[in-house]
Amino acid sequence: MKTLWTLTKIEIKLAVREFSGVLFGLMLPVGLMILLGVLNGNKPAFEGANYTLTQQSFPAVITIGIIATGLMAIPITISSYREKKVLKRFKVTPTSPLAILIAQVVNSFIFSTVSSLLVWVAAKIFFDYKMIGKVWVFLGFYLLVLFSIYSLGLMIASVSKNTKTSNLLTSLVYFPMFFLSGATVPFEIMPKGMQMVSNIMPLTHGIKLLKTASLAIPVDNVLISIIYLSVLAIACTIVSVATFKWD
């Protein structure tokens, strides 16, 4: 436990010094929430809706912090350590691969949580945001989404031999999710063909769950989304531990 705590503290300090992580993980979600709030104001999501466009956007915007930390920070950091032989040095210490992966998850979890809180504060202060649904259900779905995305990031980190491979794989996964999962463009206004493509992505299912919880609205196939994200989290975690290489 002492080793894990030491690793986590070091990773937090390094992450704070890295501006790109602060930009994409903290500043971008807050800035987007404010922009959408200014554009949408208190307009209803659609005629007759009992929630606003801002309330509809909130659960999607907070997932930007999740994918920024889970699909960019974790894979790139670990692959960079592998390329620079940092992991090889860890091999002769009591540190285990699992401890290194957990330290990365904890560090990213803290950043993601701070990002979500900042988005909520911005929405609350500037646009009087109120969650319609139950907070505890929302938090449960939030954790499920977070760990499913993080497990995917860990798997990419474990199979990437260097930062070039990691950058390629993260870009192939991150940007389609960023633009097509509903995180930036609402899923509801996408053409049918684009929605079919979007439904393949885990983040799309995550946003659906978060909207279900925050807006207290029924969404089709909620159980399928829960099972999909749960299986993804378990499978990717197993693969990441099994394929982890020191160099």
pLDDT at 151: 92
Using the structure block, give the residue that is written with the tokens 């390094």. Answer: 14
pLDDT at 210: 94
Residues 173, 38, 219: CA angle, nearest 5 degrees: 50
Contacts of 194 (CB under 8 A, 6+ apart): 180
More confident residue, 219 or 104: 104
Beta strands in 111-227 (DSSP E): none
Instruction: Please determine, for residue 216, whether its predicted confidence score (pLDDT) is greater than 80.
Output: yes
- As a whole number, mean pLDDT of residues 107-133 equals 91
For the record, the structure tokens of 246 come out as 């020191």
CA 29 to chain centre: 11
Distance CA 164, CA 158 (A): 14
Residue 41's alpha-carbon distances to 48, 58, 121, 185, 207, in angstroms, are 16, 13, 16, 17, 21
Segment 177-202, tens digit of pLDDT: 888 888 877 777 778 888 888 888 99
Q: Three-state SS for 45? A: coil
- Output the average pLDDT for the chain: 84
pLDDT of residue 52: 87
What pLDDT was estimated at residue 219? 67
pLDDT over threshold 90, residue 19: no
Confidence of residue 16 (pLDDT cuts 50, 70, 90): low
Taking CA atoms, 35 is separated from 40, 73, 137, 148, 182, in Å, by 9, 25, 27, 28, 16
Work out the number of other CB atoms within 10 angstroms of the CB of residue 155.
Answer: 24
Per residue in 57-103, pLDDT tens? 899 999 998 998 888 888 888 888 888 887 777 776 766 666 777 88
* The predicted structure's pLDDT at residue 220: 66
Quote the pLDDT of residue 59.
92
DSSP conformation letters of 161-189 = SSHHHHHHHHHHHHHHHHHHSSSSS-GGG
pTM over 0.75: yes
Q: How far apart are the first and last CA of the chain?
A: 24
With 80 as the cut, is the pLDDT of residue 11 above it? no
User: What is the per-residue pLDDT across 25-66, written as a single tens digit (0 to 9) for each?
Assistant: 678 888 889 988 888 878 887 777 788 888 988 999 999 989
Percent of the chain exceeding pLDDT 70 equals 89
